[in-house]
């Protein structure tokens, strides 16, 4: 194995840089029309009257759809973790600010935009439910997957009551919106009862199911195409209203329709990370050993659907604690339905848990790294299973070494750089390794190249590249001889690209398909009297550079091109299927990491700058060190953003989101990210997790990052900020 692991450039890099990679909104179709959504301006109430006359009369307008004339479609979800109830112009009820209430279709985008501004809607408003802190909530059945929303092992109350040292704190995280560079976009076209949709999505098959349900047609009648995604981060993991509305509009006007969300609409109906209020109590012995952990999570959902931010899942397994209770409560609000956002649960939850661990370290007078080491879980205490592999200790030591943790003076507010306060913080990271059934198809041609197909997605992560590497490795051909295609429901089925599962799921399918294509080509050669390999034993064969040869006599061989050139069809095709085995019952599977941050705080202005950040992560086998590092760094940057920048603000009286744009919703720019910012790959060999030995890497980079920065801010200032983001006014 030599190609796999190589830090090669993205195979799709050239297409992206030259603009020839085609994103959903760029799909050219003859007769294309343009749809623009009109959104509600109140969070709760009913539509009293719609005046669409001016919009309908405006030049170029083809249709104005409202609840009064929209075709009937199914708006309730049917199945699946990613499916959502959608507001599809089926009734006059307004359930949240920015809910779609009309769709205008015109012959140009500008005319559609203009006409959308002419739609007049009068509302009867009702009192919105807006308070997470005071709203009435309930315990959902599950916090995540099959996990119960109320969990306890041991007896937390008794252990906490008897603990030498007690920490009892509440941490809060705000609503955050994903805002990928590429806004959500859909181009929809009907041919009779057959629908084709070009959609920015993390799951072509999930979107296909949702559209089939909405229109009451068989999934086979829906094709979803998505060769490129400009970032998703969870927001494109579900099919949202605009995708169905685009298809509805296309059917109504009998022409293809393009619907692209404007940036402010990215704060409307495409999900977000819900706000959380998290109480964490830690009971410990004087030596820092934990005896109990309580993690209560209160998060918001919408009044018409349920999403649970599973912030306490990591608390169940991260440390060796005998007594643990975790509780999820969701509070339905007049807000859009939240969704998965990069490391859903782990990112928000690690801020609370890893801040509390830092508070414990000061309370017992220990180095924060030492407290974590003393509570290291050698096996998973929640599942009572061994880890498939775990290199957290190595992550701590590699991270501490590269960061220079030994420079840290233990006491808070004890380090200075001129007039600035200096602080250093650490936090643990973990993310579960997920995997779903996936398939791939490999076609080997007589020109010696391989064409590989899989119904998966590349969110910008590098999926095209690593899957090309896996196929090339198994086939014994150069990466440049592989053409990989994805993002189409006409290809073999793959799961949603969420939960950091794409490589573990699809990579193993590509590996199986490529290996069986290789084996079939070998079989053809061995059985072909015209081949110099005729009659030899398959066990004696090796493949390299597109040539099949005898391991002991490399001069005796045959090329794929020659073998397939003699084959009647001129090509062979093999399908590979991979699905989770019973590893889940034998092992707990997680990636682990350690985050280190150094800050400078201006004591008069309260401004925080991160000057150095080091992450060290162990995620099994790394297929491409370059794209993997980018994933880790991207997650860490987002952690910095979570710590210092991001918050979606809702006006408490009107219930309207006030900063739905990238001027007022702050995200980091290059200057916010220090040049001293590095992610290290800790080597890890995991023979148990799946055949390729890969764990997910897309999400772990954000986990713990905000806590490491918050802990550094405390170390610098002596002020503990438990409410994200850490803004200057909270420090002065």
| Residues carrying an active site annotation | 699
- Which CB sits closer to ligand MOS, 183 or 344? 344
Taking a C-beta distance cutoff of 8 angstroms, is the pair 560, 541 a contact? Answer: no
Q: Does 432 bind ligand MOS (CB under 6 A)?
A: no
Among 43, 180, 234, 381, binds ligand MOS (CB under 6 A): 234
CB of 694 to ligand MOS, least distance (A): 16
Give the span between the Cα atoms of 701 and 552, in whole angstroms.
45
Residue 326 region by backbone torsions, left for phi larger than 0, else alpha for psi between -120 and 50, else beta: beta
- Sheet containing strand 482-486, edge to edge, reads 482-486, 450-454, 438-445, 571-578
Taking a C-beta distance cutoff of 8 angstroms, is the pair 668, 645 a contact? Answer: yes
- Which CB sits closer to ligand MOS, 235 or 389? 235
Q: Does 246 bind ligand MOS (CB under 6 A)?
A: no
* Greatest pairwise CA separation for the chain in angstroms: 85
Q: Does 714 bind ligand MOS (CB under 6 A)?
A: no
- Which CB sits closer to ligand MOS, 116 or 459? 459
Which residue sits closest to ligand MOS, CB atoms considered?
234
Give the span between the Cα atoms of 690 and 254, in whole angstroms.
47
Give the span between the Cα atoms of 185 and 199, in whole angstroms.
6
- Which CB sits closer to ligand MOS, 66 or 202? 202
Q: Does 341 bind ligand MOS (CB under 6 A)?
A: yes
CB of 467 to ligand MOS, least distance (A): 18
Among 206, 227, 237, 725, binds ligand MOS (CB under 6 A): 237
Q: Does 342 bind ligand MOS (CB under 6 A)?
A: yes
Please tell me what DSSP assigns to residue 215. H
Interface stretch with ligand MOS, choices 99-107, 168-176, 334-342, 537-545 (CB under 6 A): 334-342
Interface stretch with ligand MOS, choices 231-239, 309-317, 524-532, 716-724 (CB under 6 A): 231-239
Interface stretch with ligand MOS, choices 38-46, 228-236, 546-554, 603-611 (CB under 6 A): 228-236
Long-range CB contacts for residues 521-529, cutoff 8 Å, separation at least 24: 521/444, 521/548, 521/560, 521/563, 521/564, 521/572, 522/548, 524/563, 524/564, 524/567, 524/572, 525/558, 525/563, 528/563, 528/566
CB of 632 to ligand MOS, least distance (A): 15
Please report, for the chain, how many H helices and E strands are present, in that order.
17, 31
Residues 267-326 that bind ligand MOS (CB under 6 A): none
Going by C-alpha positions, the residue among 112, 100, 2, 101 that lies closest to residue 55 is 112
Q: Does 344 bind ligand MOS (CB under 6 A)?
A: yes
- Which CB sits closer to ligand MOS, 340 or 351? 340
Give the span between the Cα atoms of 624 and 722, in whole angstroms.
37
Interface stretch with ligand MOS, choices 208-216, 226-234, 372-380, 460-468 (CB under 6 A): 226-234
Distances (CA, A) of 589 to 380, 435, 692: 9, 10, 14
Going by C-alpha positions, the residue among 312, 338, 284 that lies closest to residue 162 is 284
Give the span between the Cα atoms of 514 and 471, in whole angstroms.
6
- Which CB sits closer to ligand MOS, 541 or 700? 700
CB of 498 to ligand MOS, least distance (A): 3
Give the span between the Cα atoms of 160 and 437, in whole angstroms.
43
Q: Does 634 bind ligand MOS (CB under 6 A)?
A: no
- Which CB sits closer to ligand MOS, 399 or 498? 498
CB of 344 to ligand MOS, least distance (A): 5
Interface stretch with ligand MOS, choices 107-115, 146-154, 261-269, 335-343 (CB under 6 A): 335-343
Among 87, 288, 498, 576, binds ligand MOS (CB under 6 A): 498
Q: Does 202 bind ligand MOS (CB under 6 A)?
A: yes
Distances (CA, A) of 458 to 183, 226, 472, 506: 16, 9, 18, 11
Interface stretch with ligand MOS, choices 99-107, 189-197, 227-235, 510-518 (CB under 6 A): 227-235
CB of 233 to ligand MOS, least distance (A): 6
DSSP code per residue over 159-184: HHHT-SEEEEEEEEE--B----SSPP
Please tell me what DSSP assigns to residue 358. H
Give the span between the Cα atoms of 268 and 661, in whole angstroms.
11
- Which CB sits closer to ligand MOS, 232 or 492? 232
Give the angle subtended at the CA of 467 by the CAs of 582 and 517, to the nearest 5°. 80
Size of the site for ligand MOS (CB under 6 A): 11
Q: Does 499 bind ligand MOS (CB under 6 A)?
A: yes
Q: Does 205 bind ligand MOS (CB under 6 A)?
A: no
Q: Does 695 bind ligand MOS (CB under 6 A)?
A: no
Binding site for ligand MOS (CB under 6 A): 202, 232-234, 237, 340-342, 344, 498-499
């Amino acid at each position: 194995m030599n190609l796999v692991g190589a830090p090669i450039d993205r195979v799709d890099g050239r297409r992206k840089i030259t603009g020839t990679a085609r994103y959903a909104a760029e799909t050219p179709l003859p007769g294309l029309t343009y749809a623009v959504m009109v959104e509600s301006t109140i969070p709760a109430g009913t539509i009293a009257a719609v005046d669409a006359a001016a919009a309908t009369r405006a030049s170029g307008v083809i249709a104005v759809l409202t609840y009064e004339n929209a075709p009937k479609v199914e708006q309730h979800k049917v199945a699946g973790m990613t499916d959502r109830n959608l507001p599809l112009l089926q009734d006059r009820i307004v359930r949240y600010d920015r809910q779609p209430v009309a769709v205008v279709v015109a012959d140009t985008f500008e005319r559609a935009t203009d006409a959308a501004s002419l739609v007049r809607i009068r509302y009867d408003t009702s009192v919105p439910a807006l308070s997470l802190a005071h709203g009435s909530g309930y315990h959902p059945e599950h916090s995540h997957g099959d996990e119960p929303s109320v969990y306890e092992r041991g007896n937390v109350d008794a252990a906490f009551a008897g603990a030498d040292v007690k920490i009892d704190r509440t941490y809060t995280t705000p609503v955050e919106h994903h805002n990928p560079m590429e806004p959500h976009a859909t181009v929809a076209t009907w041919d009779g009862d057959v629908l084709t949709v070009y959609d920015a999505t993390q799951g072509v098959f999930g979107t296909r199911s949702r559209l089939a349900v909405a229109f009451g047609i068989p999934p086979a009648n829906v094709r979803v195409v998505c060769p490129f995604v400009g970032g998703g981060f969870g927001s494109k993991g579900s099919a949202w209203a605009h995708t169905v509305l685009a298809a509805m509009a296309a059917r109504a006007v009998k022409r293809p329709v393009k619907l692209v969300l404007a940036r402010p609409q990215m704060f409307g109906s495409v999900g977000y990370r819900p706000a959380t209020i998290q109480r964490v109590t830690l009971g410990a012995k004087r030596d820092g050993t934990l005896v109990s952990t309580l993690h209560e999570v209160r998060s918001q959902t919408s009044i018409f659907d349920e999403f649970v931010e599973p912030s306490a899942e990591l608390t169940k397994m991260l440390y060796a604690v005998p007594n643990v209770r975790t509780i999820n409560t969701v509070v339905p609000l007049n807000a859009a339905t939240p969704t998965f956002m990069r490391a859903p649960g782990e990112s928000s939850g690690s801020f609370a848990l890893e801040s509390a661990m830092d508070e414990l370290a000061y309370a017992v007078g220990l180095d924060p790294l030492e407290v974590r080491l003393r509570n290291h879980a050698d096996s998973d205490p929640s599942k009572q299973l061994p880890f498939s592999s775990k290199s957290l200790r190595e992550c701590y030591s590699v991270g501490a070494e590269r960061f220079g943790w030994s420079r840290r003076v233990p006491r808070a507010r004890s380090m200075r750089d001129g007039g600035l306060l200096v602080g250093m913080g650490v936090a643990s990271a973990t993310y579960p390794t997920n995997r779903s059934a996936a398939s791939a198809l490999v076609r080997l041609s007589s020109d010696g190249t391989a064409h590989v197909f899989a119904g998966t997605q590349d969110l910008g992560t590098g999926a095209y590249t690593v899957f090309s590497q896996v196929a090339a490795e198994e086939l014994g051909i150069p990466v440049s001889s592989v053409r990989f295609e994805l993002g189409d429901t006409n290809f073999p089925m793959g799961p949603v690209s969420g939960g950091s599962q794409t490589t573990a799921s699809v990579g193993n399918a590509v590996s199986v398909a490529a290996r069986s294509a290789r084996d079939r080509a070998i079989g053809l050669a061995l059985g072909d009297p015209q081949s110099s390999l005729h009659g030899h034993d398959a066990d004696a064969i090796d493949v390299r550079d597109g040539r099949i040869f005898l391991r002991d006599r490399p001069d005796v061989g045959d090329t794929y091109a020659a073998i397939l050139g003699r084959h009647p069809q001129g090509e062979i095709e093999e399908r590979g299927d991979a699905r989770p085995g019973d590893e889940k019952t034998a092992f707990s599977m997680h990636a682990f990491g350690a985050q280190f941050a150094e800050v400078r705080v201006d004591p008069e202005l309260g401004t925080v700058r991160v000057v150095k950040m080091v992450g060290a992560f162990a995620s099994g086998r790394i297929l491409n060190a370059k794209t993997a590092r980018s994933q880790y760094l991207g997650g860490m940057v987002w952690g910095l953003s979570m710590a210092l920048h991001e918050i979606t603000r809702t006006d408490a009286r009107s219930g309207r989101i006030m900063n739905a744009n990238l001027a007022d919703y702050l995200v980091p720019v290059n200057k916010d990210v220090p040049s001293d910012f590095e992610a290290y790959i800790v080597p890890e060999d995991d023979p148990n997790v799946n055949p390729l030995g890969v764990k997910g890497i897309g999400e772990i980079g954000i986990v713990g990052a905000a806590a490491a920065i918050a802990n550094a801010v405390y170390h610098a200032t002596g002020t503990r900020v438990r409410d994200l983001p850490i803004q200057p006014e909270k420090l002065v």
